Structure 1
Amino acid sequence: MAAFLLSSVSAAAQQDSTKGTSLNEVVITATRFPKKVSETGKVISVITKEDIERSNGKDLSQILNDEAGLIINGAYSNPGKDKSFYLRGAKTDYTVILLNGVPVSDPSGTGGAFDVRMFTPEQIERIEILKGAQSTLYGSDAIAGVINIITKKGADKPAQGYAGFSAGSYNTIRANAGISGSAEGASYNIGFTHYQTKGISEAEDTTAAKSFDKDGFNQNAFNADFNVRVAKGLYIKPYFRYTYFKGGYDGGSFTDADATYKAQMFTTGSQAEYNFGKGALTAFYDYDEVNRMFTDSWGTSPYAGNKKTLEFFGNYSFSRHMQLLAGIHYNKQKLNDETANPKNPTAELTSPYLSFFLKDLRGFNLELGGRYNKHSKYGDNFTYSINPSFTINDKVKLFANYATAFKAPSLSALYGPYSANPDLTPETSSTIEGGVQATLLSEVLDVRAVYFKRKIENVIIYGPSFQLINLDKQNDNGFEIEPTLYIGKKLRIKMFYAYVDGEVTTKSNDKDSTFSNLIRRPKHSFGANIGYQVTPQFFISTQVNSYAKRSDLYYDMSTYSQQAVTLSAYTMWNAYAEYAVAKSRVKFFADVKNITNAKYTEVYGYSTLGFNFTGGIRVKI
């Protein structure tokens, strides 16, 4: 049977020129400048423009949730519920979110993680997911990896209007419109998105009366991106983004509440890029401001903060085989909190970094890098990375990585009104990776297999007096395998299997104790996506994701203690179809999720979405 499948795939490849091109794909996030996947040993995945355009009906969390080793907890809960993302089993604030290469975060939160609900998929061109410790290139928080969200650029004509509208289950409506274009060395993209849904009850309703109210969600997002060539090789790229959303939330597991939240993000800045014969220079300034407010029966709780980032870096090619990247990063964060000690605290981080690259020495590649970090509170620390790889006949790449990383304590953890500790030190980590990536069977099969092992020390936890302290150690390991088949011009079969295991070691009464740290994270996950271009106008796909059982913890109000529970394994089956008319300027689409109406739980005591449907239209003028 296997031999028959392989021979059929090879025959299909000979009849068609479509090739799998993973090793030849050019990425930016792995090295901060364009580089082929075959020339770097980093583990990077790409969600392409085509993938995103064929994800109509999904939000960003659901798009990311289809990737190997990336679990977005809450992706299929009530649409307005907060989302937690676990890259290779690591908690949310161990992953850096980039917007066009610029780090974004929320200084007002305990962990500083950015809220992915702030981003709307209508304005995303491409996503690059870089796994493993990446603090050498991207600084604090990059313990598990980096997710780079790359926004849409201007169309290749002076003006092109675009719009979209969809409606579906739970009284959901999504509408967007914009205009983009380019002419005489300048380009622009300006867009607006509105999203609203009545949703479902955030908490699971187990009462006989089924009286819990629905917790809706309403969002507006605006973006404006510009790119102006001011001289030969010199480009200035100013941008502006604003997102506002509001919704309802409940009081906890199985507990209804008349509670509301609202949040807004404002980000603006500019990049300057100068390209010359053997390299490029890049500088950017970015300002992010996040304001959140929660209102419940206890009153109103505001959270606000901002961050200013300034960075300059350059890359230079000494020869066809030698390259250098050097840069310096500075950011200043502020927590707007009059109750903090001191009031409205700030923290600064300055980080020069350097990476040296050997490229294609008879197939051998090497990256060596280091970063020095000077923090205004805790002092300094150093991270480094070693990344060799070897490519055989441009078809098979063997790679290994050893890298250290760190996470600086957030302003809220250092100075906030609850449980803060100004003596916290950085959480530090080391990660080992090794694997193989190959393009086989006449470039019809792309496959990557990776093993990783990660150790994190000085993990920040709540101590016996409920004050945050550095205490725990965390060890995680796992592997991922991702085969993709391209059969002819019409059929792609993309699959993954991911395994992760982990444990935390803590000290109590001067004795070490060890327990699993995979809360809400499955040890085993599997996914398969089949996409078929039936005709030039008609495309269909189906996606199946399966997750093993998971552990969870919840607070039991009757015993005033935390209780452990096991969440059952489940499988999610989704499908998508689109039909294009008017030379693909108009596309109709339908998206169906949870076709079998599977019953499952992402967070104990909270609801999840049943069978749901979205239909809509996209137009380019």
Structure 2
Amino acid sequence: MMTAVLCSHVLMAQEDTTSLDNVTVTATRFPKKLSETGKVVTIITKEDLEKAGGKDLPQLLNEQAGIIINGAGSNPGKDKSVYIRGANYNYTVILINGVPVVDPTGVGGAFDLRMLPVDQIERIEILKGAQSALYGSDAVAGVINIITRKGGDTPARLYGGFSYGTRHTLRAHTGLNGSFGASSYNISFVHNETRGISEAKDTLGTQHFPSNGMLQNAISADLDGALTHSLHIKPFVRYAYFTGSYSPEAFKPGGDRFRASLMTAGSQASYNFSKGSLTGLFSYDEVSRSYPDGFIKEFNGSKKTAEVFTRYDLHPYFQTLLGLRYDEVSMKQPNATTPDTSSKIISPYLSLFLRNLGGFNFEAGGRLTNHSKYGNNFTYTLNPSYLINDRVKLFVNFGTAFRAPALSELFGLYGANPNLKPEESQTLEGGAQFTTTDKKADARITGFIRNTKNIIAYVSNRYTNYNRQKDHGLELETTLRPVDPLTIKLFYTFTEGKVTTANSSNNGDTTYNNLFRRPKNSFGAHIGYQVIPALYISTNINYYGDRRDLDFSTYPSLTVPLKAYTLWDLYTEYSFLKQKLRVFAQVTNLLDADYYETYGYAVWGRAFNAGLRFRL
């Protein structure tokens, strides 16, 4: 966030997601090389995003190691749930330019990724592990920081793109950006629409289920105003509107309508001095969702965040980060017994960094969270790492995390329970990361164990606390560049988890695997080849192992198996006029795999799109 703009030339120069030379702003809240932090960070670069073709944000994230986006291959109107390392969908904090965004009206408070078009994004950083000490409540499994497009290198540059594909899917975007000295701006507009598919699965193939289409419009404006060489003011405003239809039940056709809108506005101010920086920010999010054909017609919510923090370099080997954050979340449900609800959080935090002590780096951080309902909770992190010959990094992370129940879980109309306890977790992870001397190969291996108590689950139409949850897993990632035009990225992940809860029938405990819709095993391979300077081709293969889901058509619900599946995508682009104009074509799910992400709901199948991008 903040100082990210000042080091954007460094960030944009990096292309590999696992290189120790990469610079991250999410791991520590200020720019730091991956070689200097033991945090596990994956970076989706500007180049990756430009070669995403017609994919949306959930599809793109679903191709990353350790991340499953349930609904990524389903109809665009289908909800998208983020599972990092098998953790629940509301255990991930979503940031836009370092500022947290929350949907108070959503299930569990999880943010709706459909509201963020890829064409407004410059870069994505994914930080895994318990991060409540740095990012507060909900950062149990990780953080996804979405960094939006910035100003260009000329006073005014017009850019845009257009694509059209299967099922009348149209994507278009245009924008204007530029810079004046140290100041810059970016204004963009995005329009997406599709006829879509039937959201519910048609098992007979003769029922002629109606299609559930969608339409999305979004506009954003970001300004970085340099008042002096050291002081920058960065106001922003973003608005997204999303409408479509959906099927309210599995295996049954439906055309129920929905509308959703997100408005985000605020500003950041950053002041850089000789030994550090001071940053302040304020943001306001307003979310509205309506279902004209549903029992509950409308949901409205808002979130206010104010934060100030400072980084200070006490010594070339010792840095500090000190901050204070205030969050206020409110939700309105006209049909509810308690129509207006809110919560407030005040949280001071402190992190200490030892760096470059003969290859040894260490971070220790803590945060005191004062919640208006749950009082005080302290979370902390310990993060030692050791760099050998500037090429091999050994790391260990131990962190605690805290998640207060969302307003919808406490006061919503669906199974609300005002007596819920907050969830608390501990995560231990460790591994090794290396980059070869010739920089032709990078790799990382990470193992993790996560224990959570008072886990919140939806059981028998009501939210309740289970005793504990234990998850563990392994991630292998590598990037190979055997020759300059060729890049190969591979990953394998294993994730397993079990929940333990009291069993009243035998006065004991019951333990079972509860990571529904999440595979134990997944594999990904991306191969990109720059044939000539103007021609680029790539292929992407992702395998997702056997999973399980719940069949809610019976009461109580029954567990059903979901078969493994493989997705194979192809992409090519050709550039003209010194890369000012690019044409591209893409095929997703080339083998037309038929599978379930959610039991009873259809997936997109084979799809084709082609288009162009320009930068004048």
TM-score range, shorter chain: over 0.9
Structure 1 counterpart of 2:400 = 404
Note closer, same or farther for the CA distance 1:19–1:249 as it changes in structure 2 (3 Å cut). Answer: closer
Deviations 1:209-247 (A, max 9, x none): 332100001100000000001123000000000000111
Structure 2 counterpart of 1:4 = none
Which of 552, 556, 560 is the matching residue for 1:555?
Answer: 552
CA distance in structure 2 between the partners assigned to 1:231 and 1:419 by the alignment: 53
CA distance in structure 2 between the partners assigned to 1:128 and 1:392 by the alignment: 25
Which of 603, 615, 618 is the matching residue for 2:610?
Answer: 615
Structure 2 counterpart of 1:329 = 325
CA distance in structure 2 between the partners assigned to 1:254 and 1:548 by the alignment: 23
Aligned partner of 1:301: which letter?
Answer: K
User: What is the TM-score of this pair, normalised by structure 2?
Assistant: 0.95
Structure 2 counterpart of 1:480 = 475
Note closer, same or farther for the CA distance 1:21–1:373 as it changes in structure 2 (3 Å cut). Answer: closer
Deviations 1:110-133 (A, max 9, x none): 310000000000010000000000
CA distance in structure 2 between the partners assigned to 1:243 and 1:20 by the alignment: 29
Structure 2 counterpart of 1:512 = 509
SS in 2 for 1:72: strand
Which of 560, 564, 569 is the matching residue for 2:564?
Answer: 569
Deviations 1:589-616 (A, max 9, x none): 0011111112222111111122110100
SS in 1 for 2:60: helix
CA distance in structure 2 between the partners assigned to 1:21 and 1:157 by the alignment: 31
CA distance in structure 1 between the partners assigned to 2:604 and 2:336 by the alignment: 39
Which of 417, 423, 426 is the matching residue for 2:422?
Answer: 426
Aligned partner of 1:577: which letter?
Answer: T
Structure 2 counterpart of 1:194 = 191
Deviations 1:558-583 (A, max 9, x none): x4331111111111110100000001
Note closer, same or farther for the CA distance 1:299–1:491 as it changes in structure 2 (3 Å cut). Answer: same
Aligned partner of 2:200: which letter?
Answer: A
Which of 348, 368, 372 is the matching residue for 1:352?
Answer: 348
Q: For the Cα contact (< 8 Å) 1:414–1:423, is it kept in 2?
A: yes
CA distance in structure 2 between the partners assigned to 1:21 and 1:413 by the alignment: 37
Aligned partner of 1:371: which letter?
Answer: R
The CA deviation at 1:414 is: 2.0
Structure 1 position 244 matched with structure 2 position 241: yes
Q: Percent identity?
A: 52
Note closer, same or farther for the CA distance 1:281–1:214 as it changes in structure 2 (3 Å cut). Answer: same
Deviations 1:250-301 (A, max 9, x none): 13211112311110000000000011111011110000011001233x5452
CA distance in structure 1 between the partners assigned to 2:250 and 2:60 by the alignment: 26
Structure 1 position 455 matched with structure 2 position 428: no
Note closer, same or farther for the CA distance 1:517–1:463 as it changes in structure 2 (3 Å cut). Answer: closer
Structure 1 position 494 matched with structure 2 position 489: yes
Structure 1 counterpart of 2:387 = 391
Q: For the Cα contact (< 8 Å) 1:152–1:189, is it kept in 2?
A: yes
Once the two structures are overlaid, the 10-residue window that deviates more, 245-254 or 319-328, is 245-254
Structure 2 counterpart of 1:82 = 79
Q: For the Cα contact (< 8 Å) 2:296–2:335, is it kept in 1?
A: no
Structure 1 counterpart of 2:64 = 67
Q: For the Cα contact (< 8 Å) 1:19–1:486, is it kept in 2?
A: no
Structure 2 counterpart of 1:129 = 126
Aligned partner of 1:405: which letter?
Answer: A
Which of 18, 23, 27 is the matching residue for 2:20?
Answer: 23
The 5 A counterparts of 1:48-197 are 48-197=45-194
The 5 A counterparts of 1:212-611 are 212-296=209-293, 299-440=295-436, 442-462=438-458, 466-509=461-504, 510-556=507-553, 559-611=554-606
Q: For the Cα contact (< 8 Å) 1:220–1:243, is it kept in 2?
A: yes
The CA deviation at 1:109 is: 2.1
SS in 1 for 2:196: coil
CA distance in structure 2 between the partners assigned to 1:191 and 1:238 by the alignment: 15
Aligned partner of 1:290: which letter?
Answer: V
Q: For the Cα contact (< 8 Å) 2:526–2:541, is it kept in 1?
A: yes
SS in 1 for 2:83: strand
Note closer, same or farther for the CA distance 1:545–1:392 as it changes in structure 2 (3 Å cut). Answer: same
Structure 2 counterpart of 1:7 = none
Note closer, same or farther for the CA distance 1:437–1:252 as it changes in structure 2 (3 Å cut). Answer: same
Q: For the Cα contact (< 8 Å) 1:551–1:567, is it kept in 2?
A: yes
SS in 2 for 1:345: strand
Tell me how many residue pairs correspond in the alignment.
Answer: 600
CA distance in structure 2 between the partners assigned to 1:21 and 1:524 by the alignment: 21
Q: Runs of 5+ in structure 1 lacking a partner? A: 1-17
CA distance in structure 1 between the partners assigned to 2:152 and 2:104 by the alignment: 35
The CA deviation at 1:78 is: 1.0
Q: Runs of 5+ in structure 2 lacking a partner? A: 1-14
CA distance in structure 2 between the partners assigned to 1:552 and 1:387 by the alignment: 36
CA distance in structure 1 between the partners assigned to 2:100 and 2:289 by the alignment: 20
SS in 2 for 1:295: coil
The CA deviation at 1:442 is: 2.3
Aligned partner of 1:352: which letter?
Answer: P
CA distance in structure 1 between the partners assigned to 2:248 and 2:336 by the alignment: 26
Deviations 1:27-66 (A, max 9, x none): 1000000001000000000000000001011000111111
CA distance in structure 2 between the partners assigned to 1:522 and 1:594 by the alignment: 19
SS in 2 for 1:504: strand
CA distance in structure 1 between the partners assigned to 2:322 and 2:295 by the alignment: 49
Note closer, same or farther for the CA distance 1:201–1:273 as it changes in structure 2 (3 Å cut). Answer: same
Deviations 1:532-578 (A, max 9, x none): 0000100000011111110011212xx43311111111111101000
The CA deviation at 1:468 is: 2.7
Q: For the Cα contact (< 8 Å) 1:460–1:472, is it kept in 2?
A: no
Once the two structures are overlaid, the 10-residue window that deviates more, 306-315 or 337-346, is 337-346
CA distance in structure 2 between the partners assigned to 1:78 and 1:608 by the alignment: 6
SS in 2 for 1:198: strand
Note closer, same or farther for the CA distance 1:188–1:135 as it changes in structure 2 (3 Å cut). Answer: same
Aligned partner of 2:572: which letter?
Answer: A
Deviations 1:147-170 (A, max 9, x none): 000001000110000111100001
Aligned partner of 2:84: which letter?
Answer: L
CA distance in structure 1 between the partners assigned to 2:61 and 2:41 by the alignment: 14
CA distance in structure 2 between the partners assigned to 1:567 and 1:427 by the alignment: 29
Aligned partner of 2:25: which letter?
Answer: I
Aligned-residue Cα RMSD (Å) equals 1.5
CA distance in structure 2 between the partners assigned to 1:530 and 1:462 by the alignment: 41
SS in 2 for 1:137: helix
CA distance in structure 2 between the partners assigned to 1:32 and 1:78 by the alignment: 36
CA distance in structure 2 between the partners assigned to 1:176 and 1:551 by the alignment: 38
Q: For the Cα contact (< 8 Å) 1:21–1:443, is it kept in 2?
A: no
Q: For the Cα contact (< 8 Å) 2:391–2:437, is it kept in 1?
A: no
